A and B are shown apart, each in its own frame.
Chain A
């Protein structure tokens, strides 16, 4: 057995917000592990974490193999799967970073006998969404319409390479976590940008069921996966779901239903004015929605999120400063006033009768 102090953990995609949150968490609970943080760019000064060695490196180049051979990590946490073209600088760069980056990383890991554990951040986007899918996606559900482009397709390809790696290195414990949409303090994703819009465009006639996971739970799940052997694929989501209309009401946001044929146009318009990084798969999600079965997560992975989907949404609204147009207290006040008025009216009527 190696002692805790000579264990090394390598994290990719470390300069982004989630990566930084994971690094901070590892620094707090890392039990004296050496942590190597790899990313294409230097982290923002406010995202840098003490006690972590930052390495600037392009995953698409074989340099990662040299780094792994030299530093001999035992755990690799692969977070560098980008969700939106805006984060990467264009869709083609995004695809290259996601897919080629993963291939290079896995190629390097395959040759490194030191690697005992691989954790990959994937997404529920691998299921796509279609009206003909069952109400829940388990990890084994064959999606009716797998994603054909965008982030979902990247995740499918990443997972394929990861499966190939797991076959070639059966001695490595490989964990793939399929996260529902992230929400919470500081989260910037296509969906969080959508929620920040003053009015929410929706697809007329569709009210998707949506599910989220709070960023703190994402970090906790990744820590759990990185700290023990949990081979397998797991859905990770806050329990419960909200329909889009219900979510909009809870945030006190008005919705504008748009006909479906206008949807692609809407996506482009939002992208162009830079409010939201909206792609085809996001529009599909806003039409059909997606809910994950998390039985395997609680029973086999042993993870229970702190936030339900509803709590994650409420918490996100609080930290992002999303204020309802009409505060719920005002609605309750109006209800009370009307009831008092009614009572008075009924009393008057009763007196007359």
Chain B
């Protein structure tokens, strides 16, 4: 009776040991963006997976719309004070996509100025949100994630939840046009409620060089306990891809086309958000 069980256990132990050996001797590969798939697959994703499965009980829909090979651009709404929505999208694509794809996110520059946060973001596959990096990743056939609302989205007050903010300058659209990668508008429901931001300690934020220091019903009143997110129920819906391969790469320089496509993506995400919100029974179940 113990046989299949112990064999499985043994395989896992051997895998763990091989991982340890690679970490000690440095025999793993890191790409030029600093992405360390060995560490990401064996440690980093395991650390946040319980949040995905047990805590937020994320339901990912439409994953089959993300291509199994070649570049794609995931564009999603941003919320929740801390970028947990981005991390959950990464788990969805790796764990539940038919072939398991790594999401390479384009993150705000403040991420890379922070010790530990910046270096682990790079190890997990993410890089600075700038045009050269986006083009290179898409050109290399990676799935790239952008949250074009940026701080305006993730740091918006609770009263404005699920209302999409302005979408930057549409740099993500021109990157997709230049590389012919499909744009996949993605709606994330549930992240708005994890840290309801009801205030902002602006002087402290300025002092620390952060975009905001949120006040939530529990933070900073409960101290570190206030950092525990509320256990909302999440939905990540990958929408119908917008094909950009029909355009000439030179059209990336046509501002009108870029604006129109940006609006199209934005509206698609907003529609899906409202649709899912209508369907959900409660914030927590």
Contact = CB atoms under 8 A, between A and B. Distances in A.
Nearest to B7: A346
5 contacts: A132-B112, A132-B113, A134-B127, A205-B114, A242-B30
A133 B129 CA distance: 10
A22 B115 CA distance: 41
Interface string A131-147: 11111101001000000
Contacts of B123: 207, 243
B254 interface: no
B10 A342 contact: yes
B5 to A, nearest CB: 8
Contact of A246 (B10, B28, B117, B132): B28
Nearest to B14: A339
Q: Summarize B's interface: helix, strand, loop or mixed.
A: helix
B34 A209 contact: yes
A207 B122 contact: yes
A168 interface: no
Contact of A207 (B2, B10, B119, B132): B119
B202 interface: no
A331 interface: yes
Contacts of B282: none
A148 B128 CA distance: 23
B109 A131 contact: yes
B96 interface: no
Contacts of A242: 30
A353 B1 contact: yes
Interface in A270-316: 291
B13 interface: yes
A328 interface: yes
Contacts of B128: 131-135
A240 B13 contact: no
Contacts of B33: 135, 209
Contact of A249 (B17, B24, B116): B24
Interface string B16-35: 01101101111110101110
B274 interface: no
Interface string A238-256: 0011110011111110000
**Considering residues A141, A205, A252, A346, which has the most beta carbons from chain B within 10 angstroms of its beta carbon?**
A346
Contact of B109 (A132, A136, A342): A132
Given A131-B112, A206-B118, 16 more contacts: A131-B118, A134-B133, A135-B32, A209-B122, A241-B30, A241-B34, A246-B30, A250-B25, A291-B32, A326-B24, A328-B27, A335-B21, A338-B17, A349-B2, A350-B3, A353-B1
B9 interface: yes
A141 B132 contact: yes
A251 B136 CA distance: 30
B118 A331 contact: no
B165 to A, nearest CB: 22
Contacts of B36: 243
A291 B127 CA distance: 13
Contacts of A204: 115
Interface of A: 131-136, 138, 141, 203-207, 209, 240-243, 246-252, 260, 291, 326, 328, 331-332, 335, 338-339, 342-343, 346, 349-350, 352-353
A282 to B, nearest CB: 18
Interface of B: 1-3, 6-7, 9-10, 13-14, 17-18, 20-21, 23-28, 30, 32-34, 36, 109, 112-119, 122-123, 127-128, 130, 132-133, 136
Contact of B127 (A135, A250, A252, A260): A135
A250 B10 contact: no
Contacts of B28: 246
Contacts of A352: 2
Given A131-B109, A135-B128, A328-B25, A353 B118 contact: no
A350 B2 contact: yes
Contact of A331 (B24, B34, B109, B112): B24
A249 B25 contact: yes
A350 B6 contact: yes
A206 B26 contact: no
A207 B26 CA distance: 14
A221 to B, nearest CB: 20
Nearest to B110: A131
* Top 9 A-B pairs, shortest CB-CB distance: A205-B115, A353-B2, A249-B26, A250-B26, A131-B112, A205-B116, A207-B119, A134-B132, A346-B6
A240 B32 CA distance: 6
B115 A260 contact: yes
A352 B2 CA distance: 8
Nearest to A332: B21
A346 B18 CA distance: 18
Contacts of A205: 114-119
B125 to A, nearest CB: 11
A353 B4 CA distance: 11
Contacts of A260: 115
